[in-house]
């Protein structure tokens, strides 16, 4: 029963944060329409999927923290899974930087815009970022 309540509470908190984030995103879009400053909306579009991915991993991470063991960082997972996911998540926005012409596949992702694949990649990066923290046995 404790486990059920723990996951129920975690899920409710994640959904509340998700709901508040979407309301904030709408507010940022309205402000951008008035001020023509798209930078805050752009940053939020990049960061919010990463935060959602981290939120999905936090309940299990909390349980692992209470085990009180030594911790290490799984660099292989971050390099092999995390960095490509971060690149895909940021590629549409990196394309419009001065180095954008030299980034592979950035034009493809830029033509897609902030699509499902870039959002999913951000969620994967956020999850892998916290999942790379491992107990050292």
Q: Is the dihedral of CA 87, 93, 98, 103 positive or negative?
A: positive
Q: Note whether 127 and 74 are within 8 A (CB).
A: no
User: Can you read off the two tokens belonging to residue 43?
Assistant: 């940053």
The verdict on pTM exceeding 0.85 is no
Nearest by Cα to 45 from 114, 117, 121: 114
Highest-scoring range by mean pLDDT, 55-59, 66-70, 102-106: 55-59
Give the CA angle between residues 34, 107, 96 to the nearest 5°. Answer: 40
With H, G, I as helix, E, B as strand and everything else as coil, classify residue 73: strand
Q: For the chain, which residues make up each domain, given as ranges?
A: 2-135
At 28, which helix (H) or strand (E)? helix 2-35
pLDDT tens digits, 14-53: 999 999 999 999 999 999 889 988 888 888 888 999 999 9
The rounded mean pLDDT for the chain is: 85
Give CB contacts under 8 A, 24+ apart, made by 98-107: none
Cα within 13 Å of Cα(52), Cβ side: 19
Q: Are strands 71-73 and 133-135 parallel, antiparallel or unpaired?
A: antiparallel
């Amino acid at each position: 029963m404790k486990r059920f309540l723990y996951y129920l509470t975690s899920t409710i908190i994640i959904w509340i944060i998700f709901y508040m984030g979407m309301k904030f995103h709408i507010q940022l879009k309205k402000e951008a329409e008035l001020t023509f400053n798209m930078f805050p909306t752009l940053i939020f579009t990049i960061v919010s999927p990463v935060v959602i991915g981290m939120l999905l991993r936090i309940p299990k991470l909390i349980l692992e923290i209470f085990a009180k063991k030594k911790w290490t960082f799984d660099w292989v997972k971050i390099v092999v899974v995390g960095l490509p996911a971060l690149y895909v998540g940021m590629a549409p926005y990196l394309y419009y930087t001065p180095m954008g012409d030299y980034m592979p596949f950035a034009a493809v992702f830029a033509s897609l815009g902030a699509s499902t694949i870039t959002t999913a990649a951000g969620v994967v990066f956020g999850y892998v970022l916290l999942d790379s923290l491992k107990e050292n046995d």
